[in-house]
Chain A
Amino acid sequence: MQQTSSPEDMPIIPQAPGGVRMVAPLLSAGIGLALIAVLAGQRWVDSFAAYFIAITLSALPYMLMGALLSGLMEVFLPPTALAAVTRKAGPWGVVVTALAVPLFPICECGIVAVVRRLVRKGLPLSHALTYLLAAPIINPIVFASTYVAFQDFAHPLLRTLGGFMVAVGIGYLFSRIKPENALIPGFLTDSNGCGCAKDNCEEPENPESRLQAVARHTRMDFLEMIPYFLMGVFIASVMKTFFGDNLMALAERYPIFGPAFMMALAFVLSLCSEADAFPAASFTSFSLVAHTGYLVLGPMLDIKLLIMYRSMFRGGFIVLLAGAIVAGVTAYLALLEVFL
Chain B
Amino acid sequence: MSNFHAPLRLAAWLILLLVMILGGFQRYYLTGWNQPMLAVTCAGLALLFTAGLLEKPRGTRAVGGLGVWFETLAHYLPLVLFLVAGPTLPAMNRLSNFDYTGRKTSEIAPRMDGGPLSVSLLDLHAQHERIDGRLIEVIGTGHLLSESERKNLPASAAGRDIRAILYRYVITCCAADATTVSAVLNDMDPKTIQEDQWYRVRGRSRYVAEGLNVPFISVESLEPVPQPLSPYLTGSEEIFR
| Closest Cβ neighbor of A282 among chain B residues | B179
Interface string of A42-58 (1 = CB under 8 A from B): 00011011111111111
Check B75–A58 contact: CB distance below 8 A: no
Interface string of B211-235 (1 = CB under 8 A from A): 0000000000000000000000001
| Closest Cβ neighbor of B39 among chain A residues | A61
A73 close to B (CB within 8 Å): no
Binding stretch for chain B, among A23-31, A98-106, A255-263, A332-340:
A23-31
Check B61–A52 contact: CB distance below 8 A: no
A218 close to B (CB within 8 Å): yes
Check A28–B73 contact: CB distance below 8 A: yes
A182 close to B (CB within 8 Å): no
Interface string of B23-38 (1 = CB under 8 A from A): 0001011100010011
- CB B208 to nearest CB in A, in angstroms, measures 16
B172 close to A (CB within 8 Å): yes
CA distance A57 to B47 in the complex (A): 19
Binding stretch for chain B, among A11-19, A119-127, A307-315:
A11-19
Main secondary structure of the interface of A (DSSP, over half): helix
- CB B19 to nearest CB in A, in angstroms, measures 11
A58-B30 contact in complex given A34-B81, A226-B9, A278-B172, C-beta closer than 8 Å: yes
CA distance A52 to B174 in the complex (A): 10
Residues on A with beta carbons closer than 8 Å to the beta carbon of B61: 2, 4, 9-11
Residues on A with beta carbons closer than 8 Å to the beta carbon of B77: 27-28, 31, 230
CA distance A68 to B48 in the complex (A): 10
Number of interface residues of B (CB under 8 A): 57
Check A51–B175 contact: CB distance below 8 A: yes
Interface string of B63-89 (1 = CB under 8 A from A): 100011011011101101110111000
A227 close to B (CB within 8 Å): yes
Residues on B with beta carbons closer than 8 Å to the beta carbon of A35: 80-81, 84-85
Q: Which of A54, A61, A68, A240 counts the most B-chain CB atoms under 10 A from its CB?
A: A54
- CB A253 to nearest CB in B, in angstroms, measures 9
A288 close to B (CB within 8 Å): no
Check B47–A215 contact: CB distance below 8 A: yes
In the complex, besides A12-B5, A57-B30, 19 extra interface pairs with C-beta distance below 8 angstroms are A8-B59, A9-B59, A11-B59, A13-B63, A16-B71, A21-B70, A24-B67, A27-B77, A38-B84, A50-B86, A53-B82, A61-B37, A64-B41, A64-B45, A212-B51, A212-B55, A271-B173, A279-B172, A279-B179
